[in-house]
């Protein structure tokens, strides 16, 4: 394509809400055959709400909310915001945690009012040699079977509760994925969340269960992209989180949600300004047209 055509393509992209880092990006956009989509914040809104609290025998629900909420208040994760907002609604203010630490892909840990508190995936508790009692394990399974994310809460060496959180699929996601497929591309869902939740989201937007890659640790997302590339695929990655930055950079084409983190936007080749996934098929169509290959 001529430099003028590339300039026009870039300008048209801006009108469609697609910011293109440089004209050369259109070339990689054109070649893509597989689109890997992050779940939380990309396919879903990322605005989670706390739906239920299941407590262990003898545990006070208000205490669960207060300690878990205080710890999550220090985290930016969508799950953390849901838990902290639920607690703030109830208590107004929360104690400040000490020794707070994020455990990427697993949860958070810290000390609240003298209690050593953990909030996160069941695996986080397992790392501290704790196991959910049968009642809480049953609540966890039921939540996940229903497509909700189950979060475990423990303090002072005892599992105390399971929280249920969920977010909604964006209204535009299913249409975007239908259009990607119509362009001959294979959409895949990639997430750190558990398989049942991931498959429930996939079902809602029309991604095949065999194209769901779940329970992937943040640092391993990049390896999933490498593996697909090693299979001979030309991979576009769409993401919004700090977690997605390395995978966005590794992909043949990185598409960052404009509503996402700065780290994702810096790592991407394209920014979907409005956070609307339909801009992804728009970008690919635009690149094919600009470079004169209508498939
Ligand atoms: P995603 O890939 O969907 O954006 P992450 O890799 O950030 O998700 O997190 C994976 C899982 O780890 C979450 O679904 C949640 O179960 C758990 N998790 C991560 N951070 C937190 C937190 N701050 N509090 C509770 N759970 C968390
Ligand atoms: Mg995300």
Alpha carbon distance 247, 237 (integer Å): 7
- Residue 293: predicted pLDDT: 53
What separation in Å is there between the alpha carbon of 236 and the centre of ligand 1?
23
Asked if residue 73 has its Cβ within 6 Å of ligand 1, the reply is no
Q: 246 C-alpha to center of ligand 2: Å?
A: 13
User: Cα separation of 107 and 127, whole Å?
Assistant: 12
Question: What CA–CA distances, in Å, run from 157 to 71, 121, 123, 260?
Answer: 16, 15, 14, 35
- In whole angstroms, what is the distance from residue 6 CA to residue 47 CA? 37
The candidate with the shortest Cα–Cα distance to 147, out of 218, 205, 103, is 205
Q: How far apart are CA 271 and CA 175, in angstroms?
A: 19
75 lines ligand 1 (CB under 6 A): yes
Closest Cα to atom 4 of ligand 1: 40
Bridge partners of 158?
Answer: 155
Question: Which ligand has the minimum distance to the alpha carbon of residue 257?
Answer: 2
Candidates 8, 6, 19, 11; CA nearest to 268 is 19
Which residues are the active-site residues? 38
CA distance from start to end of the chain: 17
H helices of the chain, where?
A: 3-15, 25-31, 61-72, 78-91, 122-127, 134-145, 173-182, 195-205, 221-230, 245-250, 262-267, 279-290
CB of residue 218 inside a 6 A radius of ligand 1: yes
The whole-number pLDDT of residue 3 equals 77
Q: 167 near 45, Cβ under 8 Å?
A: yes
pLDDT averaged per 10 residues, the chain (length 295)? 76 88 85 96 94 96 97 94 95 95 95 98 96 97 92 98 95 97 97 93 96 95 98 97 95 95 95 94 88 58
Spatial CA neighbour of 207 closest among 252, 234, 173:
173
pLDDT for the residue numbered 22: 84
pLDDT of residue 1: 65
Nearest CA to ligand 1 atom 17: 106
Ligand nearest to the CA of 79: 1
Q: What's the token pair of residue 256?
A: 């960052």
* Cβ–ligand 1 contact at 69 (below 6 Å): no
CA dihedral sign of residues 196, 201, 206, 207? negative
pLDDT at 11: 83
Contact 255, 268 (CB under 8 A): yes
Tell the residue nearest (CA) to atom 22 of ligand 1. 107
Residue 84 confidence (pLDDT): 97
Rg value, the chain, Cα: 21
Q: Which of 50, 76, 79 to mutate to test the pocket of ligand 1 (most atoms within 8 A of CB)?
A: 79
Q: Residue 33: which of 291, 288, 292 has the closest Cα?
A: 288
The overall pTM is greater than 0.90: no
Dist CA 3 CA 205 (whole Å): 37
40 CA distance to ligand 2 centroid (A)? 4
Question: Closest Cα to atom 8, ligand 1: which residue?
Answer: 192
Domains, the chain, in order of start with CATH, read 3-45+169-290 (3.40.50.1000), 49-166 (3.40.1110.10)
């Amino acid at each position: 394509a001529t430099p003028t055509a590339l300039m026009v393509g870039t300008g048209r992209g801006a009108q469609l809400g697609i910011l293109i880092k440089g004209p050369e990006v259109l070339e990689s956009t054109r070649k893509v055959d597989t689109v890997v989509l992050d779940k939380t914040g990309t396919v879903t809104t990322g605005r989670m709400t706390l739906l239920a609290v299941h407590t262990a025998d003898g545990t006070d629900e208000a205490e669960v909310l207060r300690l878990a909420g205080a710890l999550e208040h220090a985290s930016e994760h969508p799950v953390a915001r849901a838990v902290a907002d639920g607690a703030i609604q109830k208590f107004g203010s929360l104690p400040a945690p000490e020794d707070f630490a994020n455990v990427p892909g697993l949860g958070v840990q810290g000390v609240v009012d003298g209690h050593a508190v953990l909030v996160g995936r069941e695996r986080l508790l397992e790392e501290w040699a704790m196991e959910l009692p049968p009642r809480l394990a049953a609540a966890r399974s039921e939540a996940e079977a229903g497509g909700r994310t189950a979060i475990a809460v423990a303090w002072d060496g005892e599992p105390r509760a399971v929280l249920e959180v969920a977010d909604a699929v964006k209204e535009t996601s299913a249409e975007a994925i239908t259009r990607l497929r119509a362009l001959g591309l294979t959409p895949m869902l990639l997430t750190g969340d558990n398989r049942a939740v991931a498959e429930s989201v996939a079902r809602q937007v029309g991604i095949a269960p065999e194209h769901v890659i779940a329970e992937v640790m943040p640092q391993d997302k990049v390896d999933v992209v490498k593996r697909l590339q090693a299979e001979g695929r030309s991979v576009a990655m769409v993401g919004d989180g700090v977690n997605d930055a390395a995978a966005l950079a590794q992909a043949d084409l990185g598409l960052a949600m404009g509503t996402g983190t700065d780290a994702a936007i810096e790592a991407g080749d394209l920014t979907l300004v409005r956070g609307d996934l339909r801009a992804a098929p728009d970008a690919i169509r635009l690149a094919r047209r600009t470079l004169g290959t209508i498939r």
